[in-house]
């Protein structure tokens, strides 16, 4: 088994309540997380601790083009089910959203497990968002893995995703703060 951890932060010019409302509504993650292609809720009702999701993902931007192209085939070769599963573990209003995720194999074992969190801190009229991650890789996926490179690449991916989140939420906040505008004909 190989493991790595990391975290990245960004300051978003939006109120902490608006940031929490957006990131705690887990289906929104597909809007700002590059790797998520599809996210399906497996449990009924609103998003609460214990809510479960199934995600289809593509290879990270850090992977060479041929890996990104062959990702579905490589998943099959490694015995993957082709999806990941996530479960919300923490929802602390205006403070923290956390979840655990796993990439199951067809044989009942796991290719990887991860723990993710988004921590929110007020910074005046802005919000600092810190996304932390901890990965555990098993079996064939861990053989020869350079955990230093994997942590750096995952951190880079997280930074890019947080920048997308920042852009989206700052546009929403500026639109919400704008005075009523007369529609142009």
Does the pLDDT value for residue 181 go beyond 70?
no
> Which pTM does this prediction carry?
0.86
Kindly report which listed range (33-42, 114-123, 128-137, 155-164) carries the lowest average pLDDT score.
33-42
Rg (CA), the chain: 18
pLDDT of residue 178: 55
CB-neighbour burial class of residue 89 (10 A; exposed 0-12, middle 13-18, buried 19+): middle
115-127 pLDDT, tens digit each: 999 999 999 999 9
pLDDT reported for residue 35: 86
Where do the H-state alpha helices sit in 25-95?
29-32, 65-77
Q: Which of 153, 114, 126, 117 is nearest to 10 (CA)?
A: 126
Distance of CA 173 to the CA centre of its chain: 22
Per DSSP, 144 falls in state T
The CB-based long-range contact list for 168-173 (8 Å cut-off, 24+ gap) reads 168/31, 168/32, 169/12, 169/14, 169/18, 169/19, 169/22, 170/12, 170/13, 170/14, 172/14, 172/18, 172/22, 173/13, 173/14, 173/15, 173/18
Domains of the chain: 2-173 (3.30.530.20)
pLDDT surpassing 80 at residue 169: yes
- Tens of pLDDT, residue by residue over 137-150, are 998 767 888 999 99
Predicted confidence at residue 82, as pLDDT, reads 78
Give CA–CA dist 7/21, Å, rounded. 21
Strands 126-137 and 110-123, how do they pair? antiparallel
**If pLDDT is split at 50, 70 and 90, which confidence band does 180 have?**
low
Share of the chain above pLDDT 70, in %: 90
- Region for 94 from its dihedrals, namely left if φ exceeds 0, alpha if ψ lies in -120 to 50, beta otherwise: left
Q: What is the DSSP letter of 47?
A: -
More confident residue, 35 or 70: 35
Q: What is the pLDDT of residues 35-50, one digit of tens each?
A: 888 999 999 999 999 9
Q: Which pLDDT belongs to residue 173? A: 81
């Amino acid at each position: 088994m190989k493991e790595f951890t990391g975290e990245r932060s960004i300051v978003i010019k939006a109120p902490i309540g608006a940031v929490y409302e957006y990131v705690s509504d887990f289906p929104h993650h597909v809007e700002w997380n590059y790797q998520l292609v599809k996210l399906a809720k497996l449990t009924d009702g609103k998003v609460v601790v214990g809510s479960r999701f199934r995600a289809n993902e593509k290879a990270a931007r850090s992977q060479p083009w041929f890996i990104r192209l062959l990702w579905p085939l490589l998943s099959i070769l490694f015995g993957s089910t082709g999806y990941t599963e996530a479960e919300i573990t923490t929802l602390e209003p205006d403070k923290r959203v956390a979840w655990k995720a796993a990439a199951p194999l067809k044989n009942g074992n796991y290719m990887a497990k991860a723990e993710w969190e988004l921590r929110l801190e007020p910074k005046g009229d802005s919000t600092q968002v810190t996304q932390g991650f901890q990965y555990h890789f098993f079996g064939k996926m861990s053989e020869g893995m350079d955990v230093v490179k994997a942590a750096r690449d995952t951190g880079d991916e997280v930074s890019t995703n947080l920048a997308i989140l920042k852009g989206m939420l700052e546009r929403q906040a500026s639109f919400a703060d704008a005075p009523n505008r007369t529609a142009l004909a």
